[in-house]
Each structure stands twice: as structure tokens, then as C-alpha cells.
Structure 1
């Protein structure tokens, strides 16, 4: 089925809602309660996205799987380490996918972010490399934060640090996207060449 374009506020709610629930549950109770609430919220957000748009972004699916797996380990083993490592795993996975794609001459940015960019081969390579480096840096940063700071500090940083920083980084990539943007001759050509970094 064709996916529908959701309202920006709905998209924002499904993406940030689970994180805010995680934050408030931790503030009112503890990390284990917050982890359970986070798992439920992530699943609800995916269901809501499917009901409204008949589509769930690939990043949301991957993140949800990791949340459920590591959240379950956290609750079953009663060990905070697993949920704290979740961002590291997600960011490292995304970095690996993007970096690995470049080795095979492909960019998976459009698929990962559920968007279609029409860029020159150099534009694809540069944008992909930047995001791969960013995700790797965030994985390292998460490891440093949770291993050296308190649980509350880590939760606050996860919600109010990682998300704004990633949004800011995305905004800083707009000049590059505009610089290497191409208008495809046809829609078929755009779909066929999207992400191809082997030309040029």
C-alpha cells in the first residue's frame, strides 16, 4: 500500500514521545520502570505510525528491535548496563551499515532516513561518510557518558542531549545537500540512481 505523508507534529510525537515517557518514568520511579515504559511506548509509536501512514521507517524498526531486546535483558537480569548500551549498539549499527555500503559503492542514507535525495555521486559519498562518522562519534560519546556519569545524568543526556545534537547535525548538512542536489530527468531515473556512489 502507498504510504501517506504524516503531519509533522504526528511524526514528531512518534519519534520523541517514547523518549519523553522514558525520561518522566525515570524521574518518577527508576530506570527499570522507565525501561518497561519505553518498550511499550516504542511499540505503540510503531503501531500508530502504521495505522496512520501504512508505513514504519526503517530506523524506527531497527531501533525498536534493539530497545525490546536490550530492554528485556535489562528487566530480566535487573542490570542497567543493557539499556544504557542500547544507544551505542544502535549508533554503531547505523555507522557500520553506512560505512559498509560505501565499500560496495552504495549509500543507504535515503533508505535509512526514509527520504529520497537526488545528489551527485560525490554528494552521496560525502553525506554518507559524514553521517557514518557522526553515528560512530555518538556511539563513543554514549559509552563515555554512561560509564562515567550517574544514571540520571545519562537519561537527561539521552533525551535532551543526543536528540538535539543529532537534529543540529542534520541541519548543518543542508548546505551540502543543496550544493550537490540534482533534478532527475525522470522519476524512474531518480529511483534507479538513488544512492549510487560509483559514478563520477
Structure 2
């Protein structure tokens, strides 16, 4: 079922707002610690503790305004709550740092599963935005599945070998830029397999 249309800038703000807020909070709190119940919590954990409820609120607002959430949005929220909560509960940032790995592996796995059945699950959520022929969706889905798997590996390398600050910068800016660049480089697929306007409007096609 199609959701209600909202201002695209509002949608972007709701989706990226928590990520930007996490970056700002970490930048300001990275050298601070707070003692609660005899345990010391560093800036990373404090930023995570604020990110989780903010993510819940913005996702609920998006759902209320549009009337729907994509499976990817739901999966992302669940993993944020689970792994963000584990990081705060155990005072261990490693849980939260593993979250992007699991998200991208999940996305790659779902897309790959669809490909094994000869289907593009990507088309189910994006066909209204940019209609493509079936072959085009298969090509794009195959590339995106490989891309997500690569991001999962890259996230593991960065959080395990670099500083908290490097990982936060990667998560905030690197991942967003990488996804933008990926779709930017797929212009050839969009152009070659785009469904013409007259065919979209013909019944039965």
C-alpha cells in the first residue's frame, strides 16, 4: 500500500536527523564521562543513549505522517534499539559499532535471496520512484547486494582498527556519501532500462 506523500526535505530531516544529532553529541561529549550507579559512561555511550530514543521518535513521526514504513526502515529501527540498548546496558560501544555490519548484511542477504528466486525485492520498494524493466532491476539489485556486503566488511575493518572518532565520521559521512555515489554511478542502468512514460500508463503492461 502506497504511503502518503510528505515534503521531501522533512522526510530527509527525519531520516538523517538522528545520525547528525549523534555526530554532534559525540563531538561535544567525546572527552567527557558521567558516573551513574558507580559506573563511568564515556561520550560515545552518552551519544548512543540519546540516539536510540531519538531514532524511535523520528521513525514514529515518519510513520504517522506517511502511513507506512519500509521493511528496511523497520529492520534498521529494531537493530538500533537492540544493539544501541546493549551498548548502553553493558557500557560497551562495540555492540553499537557492529550494528551497521548487521544491517548491511541483512540487506545484502534479503536482496540476494530474492535474486535466487529470480525477483528483485528492491523493485518492490523503489518501482514507484524510478520504474525500470525487470532486467534493469535484476542488474541493480545484484550490484546493490554486493555493495551492501562490501559496506559490511568495510565497517568491520574501520571499527576494529580505528578510533571512535574515525568510526563516527565514517558512519555519519562516509556511509551516506558511499550510498549516494553508488546510485550516482548507476545512471547507465537507469537510462538503459527506464520504462517509458507511455508504457507506464498502458493497462496490462
Q: How does 1:1-200 map to 2 (within 5 A)?
A: 3-29=3-29, 30-113=43-126, 115-183=128-196, 184=199, 189=204
Gaps of 5+ in 2: 30-42
The answer to whether the 8 A contact 1:58-1:111 is kept is no
Deviations 1:126-145 (A, max 9, x none): 11101001100100100010
Residues in 2 aligned to 1:17 and 1:110: alpha-carbon distance in whole angstroms: 26
Residues in 1 aligned to 2:202 and 2:21: alpha-carbon distance in whole angstroms: 40
CA distance change for structure 1 residues 115 and 22 in 2, over 3 Å: closer, same or farther?
farther
Residues in 2 aligned to 1:46 and 1:187: alpha-carbon distance in whole angstroms: 36
Deviations 1:117-166 (A, max 9, x none): 43223212111101001100100100010001001110011001111111
The answer to whether the 8 A contact 2:123-2:137 is kept is no
Higher relative contact order (CA 8 A, sep 6+): 1
Name which of structure 1's ranges 28-37 and 107-116 shifts more when overlaid on structure 2.
107-116
**Count, aligned residues:** 190
Residues in 2 aligned to 1:72 and 1:38: alpha-carbon distance in whole angstroms: 10
The answer to whether the 8 A contact 1:57-1:113 is kept is no
Residues in 1 aligned to 2:202 and 2:59: alpha-carbon distance in whole angstroms: 29
The answer to whether the 8 A contact 1:91-1:138 is kept is yes
Gaps of 5+ in 1: 191-200
Residues in 2 aligned to 1:51 and 1:154: alpha-carbon distance in whole angstroms: 32
Residues in 1 aligned to 2:200 and 2:157: alpha-carbon distance in whole angstroms: 47
The answer to whether the 8 A contact 1:59-1:112 is kept is no
Return the TM-score normalized by structure 1: 0.87
